[in-house]
A and B are shown apart, each in its own frame.
Chain A
């Protein structure tokens, strides 16, 4: 019973709201008198100038007639291509849906344009423009890498001494020493290893001490830029010769 009463009350409230709104929505209509204006001016009929039209028609810009045959070989080629493609993709039967020739034409154009851009980029050598990372530059390794197995040490040392370039001669003495250590399998020669790395590879303490001394001489001369004369070179040369004898 209570439920029914509640439903009635709700319906009453709803109906009252709608009715109330209906009342408030009503607007007052004000009637206004309108005076009609009549256009009584005289109309002059103008006609097209036939002579002017004929003049225009004689101008090439107004010639809409397409010639049946392309003028140049390039136009003829494209005309042939499109006709050929149309014949490939067009439907012979007109009752069938529209031919896919047109989309194919645009796809081919896009492909050709893309190909042309790719060629230009490749030719200009700017193919890294789409990559954030710069083009990898080869290190100057080829310029500097020396294979100690291919150097004729005695010849090079002699040349350097003759030229009075004792600094270079010490360098070749040291490289020769490294080669002999490598040949004796006491060290493993690799371009990226430092002198200290080779020193640490030696296990014989006597050899290690001697090689450490030679390394220091080389480093002072080669990295330190110390000036070296003939007597000094002779002294260093003796140290290297003595060490090489121990390896023989």
Chain B
């Protein structure tokens, strides 16, 4: 009906088709987790890095690998371990006897889609190696700057910090992730479906079923489209109020940064585009508020002792603010 009244300003047909295709491809292997997959796609379209958290065995790495495989781009994987050094991630200068000069040997971070598995198994020293590359899409070593190729997406997985052998990621790094997506245990029906579907299949066979859906050029073009979506000024104000409230909330001692405000807007745009709209609504903002903010805010120790979670505080904050209408 709305198509009869309003003509679409942006053709989102290609984007919607691509998203549906990725969802269908992933659904062949991943049972359930529709919201997670949609958020990962939204994160990619919003030019963000994604942190996936879950207890061991809930298919975090598999989901990330499948999403990476759905895009025809240079893929690399880094397994973060406690003894990993920054040079193991970024690369290092190596002396070449042939030329008698030092040559830069690129590390595994040089890729379009970088899967960092178990990111919180490495200490802060190694994490700090990612600061520049995640924000500025470049690596500076020995005074030389190396630009990353577009698109550059970091898909990281981690266990909850309460798990043995994990480190808490630095706040500066957490802020560089667009989303922190939490993967929960499947429902009983989903669990039965997983067992039925996969007990006779080899994981490598499953991965070979996945064919790339999008090329690098497609991803860049879709990102441009998402960027150009319309945002009503009152909705910008709505986002600013949410972020401002996180900085003044008594349950929090670290609120959202201006980067978080931008992240909400960009993520909401991606969600709107996935839904076939070329403008965002308050619903889009509220939908992305938790995955954008939950890793950026920090609960006060007393509230943490009471068992209050970041998601609960975010919900309370949103409920205090009038929806612009």
Chain A positions within 8 Å of B, measured between CB atoms, are 132-134, 136-137, 139-141, 144-145, 171, 174-175, 191-196, 213, 216-217, 219-220, 222-226, 232, 235-236
Contact between A139 and B5 (Cβ–Cβ < 8 Å)? no
Contact between B282 and A194 (Cβ–Cβ < 8 Å)? yes
State in angstroms the CA–CA spacing of A117 and B320 once bound together: 36
The answer to whether A136 and B248 touch (CB under 8 A), given A192-B318, A224-B277, is yes
Chain A residues contacting B321 (CB-CB under 8 Å) are: 139, 141, 192
A-contact 0/1 string along B268-296, CB 8 Å cutoff:
00000000011111110010000000000
Q: Is B192 an interface residue (CB 8 A)?
A: no
Chain A residues contacting B24 (CB-CB under 8 Å) are: none
Q: Could you tell me the distance in whole angstroms from the C-beta of B245 to the nearest C-beta in chain A?
A: 7
Contact between B325 and A171 (Cβ–Cβ < 8 Å)? yes
Q: Which residue of B lies closest to A213 (CB)?
A: B1
State in angstroms the CA–CA spacing of A219 and B284 once bound together: 12
Q: Could you tell me the distance in whole angstroms from the C-beta of B228 to the nearest C-beta in chain A?
A: 13
Contact between A194 and B230 (Cβ–Cβ < 8 Å)? no
State in angstroms the CA–CA spacing of A141 and B279 once bound together: 24
Chain B residues contacting A223 (CB-CB under 8 Å) are: 232, 235, 279-282
Contact between B323 and A220 (Cβ–Cβ < 8 Å)? no
The answer to whether A137 and B248 touch (CB under 8 A), given A216-B2, A217-B5, is yes
Contact between A141 and B322 (Cβ–Cβ < 8 Å)? yes
Q: List 17 A-B contacts (CB under 8 A).
A: A132-B253, A133-B253, A144-B322, A192-B319, A192-B320, A196-B283, A213-B2, A217-B2, A220-B279, A222-B325, A223-B281, A223-B282, A224-B6, A224-B277, A225-B230, A225-B279, A226-B9
State in angstroms the CA–CA spacing of A216 and B5 once bound together: 11
Q: Could you tell me the distance in whole angstroms from the C-beta of B321 to the nearest C-beta in chain A?
A: 6
Partner of A174, one of B237, B241, B323, B325: B325
Contact between A225 and B232 (Cβ–Cβ < 8 Å)? yes
Q: Is B301 an interface residue (CB 8 A)?
A: no
Q: Could you tell me the distance in whole angstroms from the C-beta of B11 to the nearest C-beta in chain A?
A: 15
Q: Could you tell me the distance in whole angstroms from the C-beta of B300 to the nearest C-beta in chain A?
A: 10
Contacts beyond the supplied A175-B325, A216-B2, A225-B279: 20 A-B pairs with Cβ under 8 Å: A133-B248, A134-B247, A137-B248, A141-B321, A145-B322, A192-B320, A192-B322, A193-B323, A194-B283, A195-B283, A213-B2, A216-B1, A217-B2, A220-B6, A220-B279, A222-B232, A223-B280, A223-B281, A224-B279, A236-B5
Q: Could you tell me the distance in whole angstroms from the C-beta of A144 to the nearest C-beta in chain B?
A: 6
Contact between B323 and A191 (Cβ–Cβ < 8 Å)? yes
Q: Could you tell me the distance in whole angstroms from the C-beta of B240 to the nearest C-beta in chain A?
A: 10
Contact between A140 and B230 (Cβ–Cβ < 8 Å)? no
Q: Is B324 an interface residue (CB 8 A)?
A: yes
Q: Is B223 an interface residue (CB 8 A)?
A: no
State in angstroms the CA–CA spacing of A174 and B324 once bound together: 13
Chain B residues contacting A194 (CB-CB under 8 Å) are: 281-283, 286, 323
The answer to whether A219 and B323 touch (CB under 8 A), given A134-B248, A224-B230, A235-B5, is no
State in angstroms the CA–CA spacing of A140 and B244 once bound together: 11
Q: Which residue of B lies closest to A178 (CB)?
A: B325
Chain B residues contacting A134 (CB-CB under 8 Å) are: 247-248
Q: Which of B298-325 contact A (CB under 8 A)?
A: 318-325
Chain B residues contacting A225 (CB-CB under 8 Å) are: 230, 232, 279
Chain A residues contacting B250 (CB-CB under 8 Å) are: 133
Chain B residues contacting A219 (CB-CB under 8 Å) are: 279, 281
Chain B residues contacting A136 (CB-CB under 8 Å) are: 248
State in angstroms the CA–CA spacing of A60 and B324 once bound together: 77
Q: Could you tell me the distance in whole angstroms from the C-beta of B274 to the nearest C-beta in chain A?
A: 16
Chain B residues contacting A171 (CB-CB under 8 Å) are: 325
State in angstroms the CA–CA spacing of A170 and B318 once bound together: 26
State in angstroms the CA–CA spacing of A222 and B281 once bound together: 9
Q: Which of B52-111 contact A (CB under 8 A)?
A: none
